[in-house]
Structure 1
Amino acid sequence: METFDSTKRSLIEILKDVHSGKIQLPDFQRGWIWDDNRIKGIIASVAKSFPIGAIMLLETGNENVRFKTKPVEGVKLNDDLKPDLLILDGQQRITSLYQTIITNEIVSTRNEKNYEIKRWYYIDMTKATDESYDLEEAIISINEKKQITEDFGRRIVLDLSKKEFEFKNLMYPVSMIDDYSAWRREFYEYWQYDREKCMFWDKFEDRIINSFNKYMLPVIIMKKENPKEAVCQVFEKVNTGGVS
């Protein structure tokens, strides 16, 4: 009897399954704790098509292996939906990408001093399309007001509080990656279909948007036929090596 399958799945499809509740967490999974820099790092890794590691999922449906379940943090489910798969390894990676790409809501995270902060995530389109920059430099996070300030908040350096400010400053919201065509349409309208800006967008879409939409994530699926002891042993092993 095969106890697991190894495959690859579209990252965006996995995040949509998280959103719908098809993929959830065992209730005993602890909360996610990734900080702002790690979130920016994983966004950059996907944008660069770099590997971010496999995730491990467990098939549900075995009457002898029943866990209480909960949705990934940030998911809003209307009813008590039973999932098809549970995340055993990869919770932090999936949660970080789900919250930044799918929810279109501000993300609760922590800074270098471990203080809780709330952040919106953007891609500097100019840096992202300039190969002299590392893509990590193109990923930025900004506060609740969507502003970067200096001089103790007295001087606004970057203001993205309105959509037209995003277009003007060529700053792309990570939360629009899955709905990029709507943002692109308004971007074209803002720049009055300027040829150079249209070509600029094409370069950005080809280099960045396509990287996310084509990203394939290695997935290990534990079959539901596995006994509870095997599932618990696997979970214990993958979660004693640090935050996943």
Structure 2
Amino acid sequence: MNGLVNGRIRIPAFQRGFVWDADRVAYLMDSLYKGYPYGSLLFWRTKKPLRTERAVGPYEIPVKDPEYPIDYVLDGQQRLTSIFGVFQTSLEPMEAEGWLPIYFDLGAADDAQESQFLALKDDEVDQERHFPLKVLFDTTAYRAQTRPLNEVTAERLDRIQKRFLQVALPLQTFETDDPSQVAIVFERVNRLGTPIDALQLLAAWSWSEDFDLREQFEHLGSELRPFGFDSLSEDPNLLLRCCSAVIAGDASPAALMSLNGASVRKRFQEIRNGIEGAIDFVKTNFHCASIKSLPFSTVLVPLSVFFAAEGSKSVKTTGEQRARLERWFWRTCFARRYSSGVLRNLKTDIEEMFKLRHTPDESKLGDFTCDVTPDFFLENSLNIGTVNTKTFILLLARERPISFVGGQQIALDEVLRDYNRSEYHHIYPREFLKAHPAVNENALVNFAFISSIDNKIISGAAPSIYRERMDAGRFGDICERAMLPDSTWSDDPVAFFNARASLLSDKALEVIS
């Protein structure tokens, strides 16, 4: 508490604000009192003060010349702020709404489950039953509050005070002035489930007052809205990786933290051009109508390096370069390249992307192992949120499918922008497959672009029957674009599954070769 008041312990700006409600604060007090586990605190000790810091919950700490080094709270802000707010008596909250004093309920029975601490409004307080925790560490106020009480109650409160005085908060302190090490710790804390915003961390560390990177990203997002990629501004870490990749040729946390604010400000138009060029490429060549339809949003990072250009310039691709980029995209998706070893693979792809742009003959972009067998389509089930399903859908979209019944062109941009399941349906209907429990009705191989309207017309009929309801004049075209083998109409699901899986595998091998 003294460390917070004198400015030696501070809340950095990259932390989210205080979000606990009063009841949760009361439960923390109950856990402290009963000796229940409540987690440890993590401090970052540095001699370099950050440019921006947060208040301690609703309390504005007076500006003082701090004692160095300073401890910034990396993990445990909610708990630390709660403890400070409950027991401190020198400051008034800036916003009293939602912040209530915590009381010990003298009338509550000792219970392992139920809390003996309450967050109460003034008109809810019973002076004979509710004891305010805020006076517990204030000797004068504590004496005045306990003087009128009987000896038994006073002794009980003395035991409560002693118990809180004996609480030792588990604390880990990480000491460094090296921003790259802070980035590594930050990333590992993230993995443990405590989100810290890298963008705010970077802004707090190095950006100047006249350039707000967050505002620049929000503006970029609004410009991308007509193209379906406005949600990109909601992923600041991805955008930061694009910045770092363009400027430093590396998207690792260490490289990101070493970025110079002036360099980013000077080259931001180049970065913007790279991101916009990357988005235009995936939209034009793969029918990616939104960031949700990308198997890996990370592909935008190396692509932004290839398309980054100064000022109003744009990168003109040759046919050979475009073919190489397409091959790399498909191989990345089918090989699940960014599912593991992300930083290592990003580093390689960024370097090879730069070579493809400037010295194409030297580039080995996409030269990593990738194979697609029929089992990919037989063993994976349709699940819209997975990499394999998104890759499969883009492979279907590449053939520009047409309606099963009407024969008209499917509006892929609309379907893939909304990215819902209503436009992907079973080729062998589930009702028909009830008699064939040996096959997986939801396997990728059993899906095609079939609108909800067409699906109702097809209903649960056997393929040989619903074939008669399809557009006879465009029947061959429908089958070719949906990659349907002749065995589709045999009403033999095993034969169909195997034949179509082979067709899909052949198409996948074509795009990755």
Tell me whether the two structures share a fold, i.e. TM-score over 0.5: yes
Q: What TM-score does the superposition give when structure 2 sets the normalisation length? A: 0.34
Match of 1:223 in 2: 175
Question: Do 2:60 and 2:93's aligned partners in 1 also have CA atoms closer than 8 Å?
Answer: no
Offset from partner CA, 1:38-95 (integer Å, 9 cap, x none)? 2111111111122211111111115xxx532424231421435466211111111101
Match of 1:178 in 2: 137
Secondary structure of 1:28's partner?
Answer: coil
Aligned residue identity for 2:168: M
* Aligned pair partner of 2:123 in 147, 153, 162: 147
Q: How far off its partner does 1:181 sit?
A: 5.1
**2:38 is aligned with 1:52:** yes
Aligned residue identity for 2:179: K
Q: Which has the larger radius of gyration?
A: 2
CA distance in 2, matches of 1:121, 1:177: 11
Q: Given the superposition, is the C-alpha separation of residues 182 and 243 from structure 1 closer, same or farther in structure 2, using an over 3 Å criterion?
A: farther
CA distance in 1, matches of 2:181, 2:174: 10
Map 1:181-192 to 2 at 5 A.
182-188=141-147, 190-191=148-149
CA distance in 1, matches of 2:43, 2:118: 31
CA distance in 2, matches of 1:103, 1:183: 12
Secondary structure of 1:33's partner?
Answer: coil
Q: What TM-score does the superposition give when structure 1 sets the normalisation length? A: 0.67
Q: Given the superposition, is the C-alpha separation of residues 69 and 47 from structure 1 closer, same or farther in structure 2, using an over 3 Å criterion?
A: farther
CA distance in 1, matches of 2:94, 2:104: 15
Match of 1:68 in 2: 51
Question: Do 2:42 and 2:172's aligned partners in 1 also have CA atoms closer than 8 Å?
Answer: yes
CA distance in 1, matches of 2:39, 2:117: 20
CA distance in 2, matches of 1:141, 1:243: 27
Percent of matched pairs sharing the same residue:
25
CA distance in 2, matches of 1:201, 1:107: 33
Match of 1:79 in 2: 64
Map 1:3-22 to 2 at 5 A.
15-22=1-8
**Which 5+ residue runs of structure 1 have no aligned equivalent?**
1-14, 110-115, 149-158, 161-165, 192-196
Question: Do 1:47 and 1:212's aligned partners in 2 also have CA atoms closer than 8 Å?
Answer: yes
**2:66 is aligned with 1:121:** no
Match of 2:116 in 1: 138
Aligned residue identity for 2:182: V
* Aligned pair partner of 1:93 in 63, 67, 79: 79
Question: Do 2:41 and 2:76's aligned partners in 1 also have CA atoms closer than 8 Å?
Answer: yes
Flag the structure with more relative contact order, 1 or 2, with Cα contacts below 8 A and sequence separation at least 6: 1
* Aligned pair partner of 2:157 in 186, 204, 208: 204
Q: How far off its partner does 1:243 sit?
A: 6.9
Question: Do 2:23 and 2:118's aligned partners in 1 also have CA atoms closer than 8 Å?
Answer: no
CA distance in 1, matches of 2:98, 2:113: 23
Aligned residue identity for 1:76: I
Q: Given the superposition, is the C-alpha separation of residues 134 and 184 from structure 1 closer, same or farther in structure 2, using an over 3 Å criterion?
A: farther
CA distance in 2, matches of 1:75, 1:108: 10
Aligned residue identity for 1:213: L
Q: Would you tell me which structure has more helix in proportion to its own residues? A: 2
Match of 2:366 in 1: none
Give the count of matched residue pairs.
Answer: 191
Q: Would you tell me which structure has more strand in proportion to its own residues? A: 1
Aligned residue identity for 2:172: I
Q: Given the superposition, is the C-alpha separation of residues 78 and 229 from structure 1 closer, same or farther in structure 2, using an over 3 Å criterion?
A: closer
CA distance in 1, matches of 2:94, 2:166: 24
Aligned residue identity for 2:181: A
Q: How far off its partner does 1:29 sit?
A: 1.5
**Which 5+ residue runs of structure 2 have no aligned equivalent?**
197-513
Question: Do 2:7 and 2:64's aligned partners in 1 also have CA atoms closer than 8 Å?
Answer: no
Q: Given the superposition, is the C-alpha separation of residues 95 and 209 from structure 1 closer, same or farther in structure 2, using an over 3 Å criterion?
A: same
Q: How far off its partner does 1:229 sit?
A: 1.8
Aligned residue identity for 1:139: F
